[in-house]
Amino acid sequence: MPESVTVPPEPEAEPELRRAIGPKLLLFFVVGDILGTGIYALTGRIAGEVGGAAWLSFGLSFIVAMFTATSYVELVGKYPKAAGAALYTQRAFGIHLLTFMVAFAVMCSGLTSAGAAARTFGGDYLTEFVSAPTLLVVIVFLVVLALINFRGVSESVRLNVVLTSVEVIGLLFIITIGVIAVARGIGDPGNALEFHAGANPFGLVVSGAALAFFALVGFEDSVNMAEETNDPPHVFPRALFIGISIAGVIYMLVAFFATSLVPLDILSASDGPLLEVVRVGASWLPLAVFSFIALFAVTNSALINMLMASRLVYGMSRERIIPKVLGVVHPRRRTPWVAILFTSVLAIGLASWGGVSELGGTTALLLLCVFTLVNAAVLVLRRQPVKHQHFRAPTIFPVLGIICCAYLATPFSGRDPDEYRIAGVLLLIGIVLWLITWVAKRVSAARAHDEA
């Protein structure tokens, strides 16, 4: 009688992410991610660079973002996976180091953005209620977001609906204040049409757009939620285009009225510039009320960026570009808990390192480089059609996206040299991590060969 053979059970497959995002939740996600820290924190800084016509810089950033959004919509329709830009780069170019660096750059952009939000949270808006050491506020703030992220994507995106609604109300309130104040003869709308004397207006607008682009990024975060979205090829086009349009119009109006009502020297010196608009246009309103709204807004920005960063790490681990352990999903919460822990620790480190302007500018710089590659990838991947239907961008848009994003990432756009230094250090860290991963794979492969 033959001996019985015991066959070991196959290891259980890693649970999939829960699909909990529909069209409305995705639209709120996109709008909520774009609106937030950039407009609440950097309006004054951009006005200080450009002059009263700072709203034109937001408009230029809106146009460049829309070019790139068409590429993202086409690619997420073809490849509805969580890894986003890194996945598209890998499929288009097949260069492991390039893919790794794109993934690392996108992750860092989310973390620098969350760090900028954390520091903004601890600035002028919070001091309307309480004074506390900035570093302590940053740590507590990011730990709380990590716990929300771990709790589950459904809970996170539903909280995003509440936070997005509050921040949209806050910005519409600023616009309403501006309309009423100008109608009453307060301020001067002509200020919003002026540039700094003696400078080239086009150069000023481009220079402002290099920083203002930080306020328009966020739409790319949504593609990293593709595995948690129902029917991504049909849901994403409408959500991204409507979301970017809503944000772009609101930003230009807010910037227009801010420079119409508030002297530039006061506006540019504040890290809570919209509070200055309230002081001038609605002196009857306690500043604490608007500060409360602003704190909601920056919290929403940070939450969505941390969601994106953790899902990106999860997606790349599934593609075997980074260690598999970073893709472990909690069996009950169905969230990538190791990736959440990893990105939260890095975010705290970055937020402790730089200020809001430096972190915001570095975010824009990293993403402009990534967007240049994504716009190129969409053209390359046209040679690899898929069987299902999806959105196809007009070819001119990715081409213009390549030109505009590449230019805004160069020193010719007037970008602060400190941003290149911060980005350079981060990318150097990324290269070191890639080398560690590469060596680990070689050692593992050699060990397996010897054992065989």
Q: What total of structural domains would you count in the chain? A: 1
Q: What is the mean pLDDT of the chain?
A: 84
pLDDT in tens, 377-388: 999 999 988 888
Tell me whether residue 160 is in a domain: yes
The pLDDT assigned to 8 comes to 43
Share of the chain above pLDDT 70, in %: 91
The pLDDT assigned to 155 comes to 63
Average pLDDT over residues 380-406: 92
pLDDT band with cut points at 50, 70 and 90 for residue 108:
confident
Tell me whether residue 24 is in a domain: no
What's the gap between Cα 323 and its chain centre? 24
pLDDT band with cut points at 50, 70 and 90 for residue 446:
confident
Tell me whether residue 301 is in a domain: yes
Collect all residues with Cβ–Cβ distance below 8 Å to 160 and sequence separation of at least 6: 25, 28, 29, 32, 300, 303, 304
CATH code where residue 131 lies: 1.20.1740.10
Range of the domain at 254: 39-451
pLDDT in tens, 50-101: 999 999 999 999 999 999 999 999 998 888 776 678 888 989 998 888 988 8
Q: Identify any residues that bridge with 21 across adjacent strands, giving them in sequence order.
A: 229
Tell me whether residue 167 is in a domain: yes
Tell me whether residue 340 is in a domain: yes
Share of the chain above pLDDT 90, in %: 32
pLDDT in tens, 320-378: 667 778 788 877 777 888 889 988 998 888 888 777 778 888 999 999 999 999 999 99
Tell me whether residue 3 is in a domain: no
Collect all residues with Cβ–Cβ distance below 8 Å to 183 and sequence separation of at least 6: none
Q: Quote the pTM value.
A: 0.81
Exposure string for 165-204, b = 16+ CB within 10 A, e = fewer: ebbbebbebbbebbeebbeeeebeeebbeebeeeeeeeeb
pLDDT in tens, 241-278: 999 999 999 999 999 999 999 999 999 888 788 999 99
The pLDDT assigned to 9 comes to 45
Q: At what angle do helices 287-318 and 134-151 cross, to 10 degrees?
A: 60
d(C-alpha 452, C-alpha 450), whole Å = 5
H helix and E strand count, the chain: 17, 0
306 pLDDT higher than 90: no
Q: Identify any residues that bridge with 229 across adjacent strands, giving them in sequence order.
A: 21
Tell me whether residue 9 is in a domain: no
Tell me whether residue 6 is in a domain: no
